[in-house]
Structure 1
């Protein structure tokens, strides 16, 4: 498929507009095509606007051409991008609706930067809008053609590094809706790829789960596939110029939010899904790193601080049984039993490490009953005690006073639960200059049965990293990795 952004840029001038509207073939197979067409329309004053449409050709014998989507009269290309974004967000699987969305055109243009970066983001948004068009309004074979012929362009668009900036410029509400819409498309794409035999393993690529599942687990796997991890890590940095020998740069993790949401539409009715409602992935590890760019020599360190502790504490329980005997000399019997167990006060343990010039904050979820790292261990198969202990330790992970997660399924880590700051020393010659620093987050989610009876379990991970501009001027600043 030709780059849509470039095709829009090369459309003829209004004075040389051809009699037949220009069109671009998006996908084709067996004399069936999905096309994008453009036609001019009168605007206000001397302005000439364009109307774009997505049409199907050859999918029905009695209707060789059928229009699926029609844009507003727009002047390319940012207004078209904003309309595609608005419509994509409106069909996102979410529990709330965004009405009358207003986008800041200048903010989006500034966030996208150059034409090459904007082209990648536009391709991703356009393919996402095309997916929803084919999924909700087109015949089934058109949706199949979308994934069959656009497999490579879709994979290329997913590598767009500028996409987070374009979405972040629109605010957190729009970002959340866009990513859930994108996640639903990716889930469908991965499921179809597996059904075609091109992606061995689980329903989503990159998993480390157990293969060869029984047919009864297919509904469970489908439910788990339609879940998405949403991670937000807030970092705080401080630049101090007091020392005449060097600049002191410190960084710390201010908060970590990990949440697993279901990509579904509408509200669940009572009794719907049965035990599957309690089956979901849960965050089991998070790794955050920050530091000067690779190969830099202007910074030394990092100097590590103290990791957060997770001390064990004794939990004492006393049980008293009283029994009165009417016959005999004894007036009664009183028995008291006391049990003492040891449990960890916190479910998450955060440690500090150093990898080259980068400081690393590593948080790991521990089983409250066994003390094992959840992401690095599995429930044992069969009827042995190992599996029973694992289920006993994490079965109540969404309820009870000592639960590891909020009732909604996520976790928020802040304050004294996080380790202390990591510090670097930067040469005084860098004062006032802008340096490149690297940020990265890797998050793990795990699953093992909560209510249903199944031997299926897995741990998956996803990684995000980016280089950012860091101004070496005195003060405090915050960064958010999403």
Structure 2
């Protein structure tokens, strides 16, 4: 696939997964809901120029549901949600620092890009569905990096502390006063106050499990602060056109790109992870396992509906690192 070049590869995978999506839709139409199919996930990993790169393609119709009972009966909404393809590029940059008695292996995020791409024309999306803007959005990304040769690992160090950010608090006060009837003397005053909190929609966390480093990006509801991938939109917010998830791809303060994807780059998420390795590892080629899980959530965009759902995919790739001075 790499010989084809990136643009041709993307077009090929979209054509392939359009055929797969049509096949699944036809199978369900003929009552073969329990049909077992091979995983349509196509992924590969490459190592080059101090960079690990993982490429992912996955048709939305084949993703597992976080809650299978939450599927919708609205055929037009199903069409808009199913005829999409998830595409992602994960790029991690590594650097070797040779010390007197050990080696530091530093890994940091170069780019993580996630997009939802429609598999059919916008005309067909409008005719048989509700348009291509009724689609899922990334709500959580989790990566786990593990060196498979662990006998030479001395320690693992992350560079991001547990979040301890200060909240921006604004207080709005209203004072009301009124005079009492003539028979009494004086007047009464009442006041009310509201507290406003400023929260970032995406929260980034690092953690360590054994010799593995875990990276998490989690989207939070800007109204109540809940994790989006594991919750449903508040019922009152579904009726409000100014809710953050309504018209979410055209708002100025959207947590997505204009096309509905996300980009995490080193300008904001460049914190590194450091594995301290014994000097005896020099000359060896270490294999690293990169496991990932990505959640994609649907909350109504322009369509008036109470339906919401979360789907997810998992992947596992091996990359290599030669420790040479």
**TM-score class normalised by the smaller sequence:** 0.7 to 0.9
Residues 311-331 of structure 1: per-residue CA shift (max 9 Å, x gap)? 533468899xxxxxxxxxxxx
Corresponding residue for 2:79?
Answer: 222
Corresponding residue for 1:279?
Answer: 134
Corresponding residue for 1:56?
Answer: none
Higher helix share: 1
Distance 1:187-1:274 versus aligned 2 partners, 3 A rule:
closer
Match of 1:188 among 22, 25, 36: 22
Counterparts of 1:16-31 in structure 2 under 5 Å?
A: none
Corresponding residue for 2:229?
Answer: 375
Distance 1:173-1:316 versus aligned 2 partners, 3 A rule:
farther
Corresponding residue for 2:116?
Answer: 260
Q: TM-score, normalised by structure 1?
A: 0.52
What's the secondary structure of 1:376's corresponding residue?
coil
Q: Alpha-carbon deviation of 1:273?
A: 6.5
Q: Using the alignment, how far apart are the partners of 1:247 and 1:212 within structure 2?
A: 50
Counterparts of 1:199-238 in structure 2 under 5 Å?
A: 199=35, 203-209=61-67, 211=69, 215=73, 217-238=74-95
Larger CA Rg, structure 1 vs 2 = 1
Q: Alpha-carbon deviation of 1:397?
A: 2.2
Residues 349-385 of structure 1: per-residue CA shift (max 9 Å, x gap)? 11001233221111001112221111011135xxx53
The answer to whether the Cα contact below 8 Å between 1:282 and 1:445 also exists between their aligned partners in 2 is: yes
The answer to whether the Cα contact below 8 Å between 1:370 and 1:393 also exists between their aligned partners in 2 is: no
Match of 1:198 among 34, 46, 49: 34
Count matched residues: 282
Q: Using the alignment, how far apart are the partners of 2:108 and 2:318 within structure 1?
A: 17
Higher strand share: 2
Q: Using the alignment, how far apart are the partners of 1:463 and 1:205 within structure 2?
A: 9
The answer to whether the Cα contact below 8 Å between 2:288 and 2:318 also exists between their aligned partners in 1 is: yes
Q: Alpha-carbon deviation of 1:456?
A: 2.2
Residues 277-334 of structure 1: per-residue CA shift (max 9 Å, x gap)? 43111011111222311x6311133211115856533468899xxxxxxxxxxxxxxx
The answer to whether the Cα contact below 8 Å between 1:282 and 1:410 also exists between their aligned partners in 2 is: yes
Q: Alpha-carbon deviation of 1:274?
A: 7.8
Q: Alpha-carbon deviation of 1:343?
A: 2.2
The answer to whether the Cα contact below 8 Å between 2:125 and 2:132 also exists between their aligned partners in 1 is: no
Two-structure CA RMSD over aligned residues (Å): 3.2
Q: TM-score, normalised by structure 2?
A: 0.76
- Structure with bigger RCO (C-alpha 8 Å, 6+ apart): 2
